Amino acid sequence: MKFFNLSVNLNNMFKKLLLISAIGLSGIAFSQNTVKEKLSNYLDSLCLHHKVMGSFAFVDKNQAKFVKVVGLSDVEHQQNANMNTQYRIGSISKIFTAVLVMKAVEEKKISLDDKLSGFYPEIPNAQKITIEHMLQHRSGIHNLTDEPEYMQYYTKPHTEADLIGIIKKYNSDFEPGAKFEYSNSNYILLGIILEKIYKTSYAELVSTKIARPLKLTLTKVGGAIDPSKNQAESYEYIEGRYRKMPETDMSIPGGAGNMVSTPVELLEFIIGLEKGKLIKKASLDKMKSFKDGYGYGLIKLTYDKSSGFGHNGGIDGFRSAVYYFPDLKVAASYIVNQSSIDPDDIFDNMMAAATGKDFKIPSFAVIQVPEAELKKLTGNYASPGVPLKINIFIQNKVLMAQATGQSAFPLDAISETSFKYDMAGIVINFHPEKKQFDIIQRGAKTTFTKE
């Protein structure tokens, strides 16, 4: 796998980003008030420091649109992304699947009370599992993406029979209806069931029942990524280089995550859904029947005491979200194809800008710690009551951390004994004299001791 170093192009990239910021994107103008300008500068800064690449958009109550695109869609060919670049949206696809199911209910093709056994009786508990259970992730069907073997086959094409064979071999996790537990298997099955009852492909259903009514031209079922067609690859930035991520074969996620789109079109989709352009109000109200924060393909999200609905997504190196807040009359969406910080932090700042509030731009300053000092921190650490250990080691003069059974990640120094990993919102404070460190994540602190 090739690595591509972009450091020589940072000056040119920064000039291009400033130009985009100044003139807008392809004629799309947005309000140049202070907080929106600050958001634009913030996204430029994130990209310049290799923290994020992607596309961002929101519509506020005055219908003023903000659109911003930063970074590259194709690193190898130095291709800048633009507002029409298609990105994989991962689990946001579940909203589309749920809408199609509700459309099928309206057309009397299926009932929410229909049993899975009418389609796939061989799946454990199928005679007890309803369509509604699957929509709400309350079926007990095991999530195939949780299994280690998933990493052995996710880049290879699979047939319907292959997927059913994988899903049916896992025992049920709990009795249907007993609780909420997120499982991609539910929506893979729903996508296949839709194809059966309509006798056509999921891709065609998305096109005829969602994309065409809303005049969406860039929102569709994806295939193999083709950068020559303005489709973004996904990356991680590590050791000073962008590394292309392996690519999920879209035959596997199906109705759980096989779509591509843009933030602008995702806004048009979720607003169109709210305005009744796709399904009846009664059907959307059913989709908003939230239990444990989840409805039918919708997540309930609270921002500043306001309640919104939508979904987030993640596939390969892509991260995405789209949410609409009816009382604020604000919708916001992003899709990133590289991120070294938690995209939720970006979303919070987008919502601040959309509602006219100020926000704080983080400092990206890091320091260089001599390797001799880093060596004092290395070793295997454990904590009583925590079922994993953390190995701290040095790789190419960079301090790394790796928890049991997980991938290693780099730590950025903010002092000789304090380090951070922005992607997960982690800060690690070492106490070498005690042979300990404190790991802090979302306000929770846990102490680990060197073995």
Model pLDDT for residues 40-61, shown as the tens digit of each residue: 999 999 999 899 999 999 998 8
Contact, 262 vs 335, CB < 8 A?
yes
**Distance spanning both ends of the chain, measured CA to CA:** 36
Q: What is the DSSP string of 427-449?
A: EEEEETTTTEEEEEETTEEEEEE
Q: Across 22-64, where does the E strand assignment appear? A: 52-59
Nearest-CA neighbor of 189 among 130, 104, 248, 262?
130
Q: Rounded mean pLDDT of the chain?
A: 90
DSSP-derived secondary structure letter, 126: T
- Burial of 22: CB neighbours in 10 Å, binned 0-12, 13-18, 19+: exposed
Residue 33 — pLDDT band, cuts 50, 70, 90?
A: low
Residue type, 181: E
For 324-360, b/e burial (b = at least 16 CB within 10 A) is bbeebebbbbbbbbbbbbbbebbbebbbbbbbeeebe
Task: Note the pLDDT of residue 374.
Answer: 95
Range with the poorest average pLDDT among 57-61, 118-122, 379-383, 442-446 = 442-446
User: What is d(CA 377, CA 412) in angstroms, rounded to the nearest whole number?
Assistant: 14
Q: Position 354: which residue type?
A: A
pLDDT tops 50 at residue 216? yes
Alpha-carbon Rg for the chain, nearest whole angstrom, is 23
Nearest to 83 by CA among 423, 315, 333, 349: 333
According to DSSP, residue 46 is labeled H
pLDDT at 62: 67
How far apart CA 46 and CA 341 sit, in angstroms, is 9
Q: Are 283 and 273 in contact (CB under 8 A)?
A: no
Structural domains of the chain, ranges and CATH numbers in brackets: 371-450 (2.40.128.50)
Distances (CA, A) of 411 to 48, 397, 420, 430: 19, 11, 5, 12
- Looking at residue 32, what is its pLDDT? 40
How many whole angstroms separate alpha carbon 254 and alpha carbon 157?
A: 11
Q: Comparing 397 with 100, which gets the higher pLDDT?
A: 100
Q: Is the pLDDT of residue 368 over 90?
A: no
DSSP codes joined into one string, 66-106: EEEEESEEETTTTEEP-TT-BEE-GGGHHHHHHHHHHHHHH
**What mean pLDDT do residues 130-138 have?**
98
Provide, rounded to the nearest whole percent, the portion of the chain with pLDDT above 70: 92
Helices (H), 322-379: 343-354, 371-375
What is the mean predicted confidence (pLDDT) over 77-83? 97
pLDDT at 1: 24
In the prediction, which pLDDT does 414 show?
86
3-state secondary structure of 7: helix
Could you tell me how far CA 247 lies from the centroid of its own chain? Answer: 15
The H or E element that residue 308 is part of is strand 306-315
Q: pLDDT, tens digit, for every residue of 278-289?
A: 999 999 999 999
* pLDDT for 238: 83
Q: Is 70 exceeded by the pLDDT of residue 4?
A: no
Q: What is the pLDDT of residue 425?
A: 79
Show the tokens assigned to 175: 């009795």
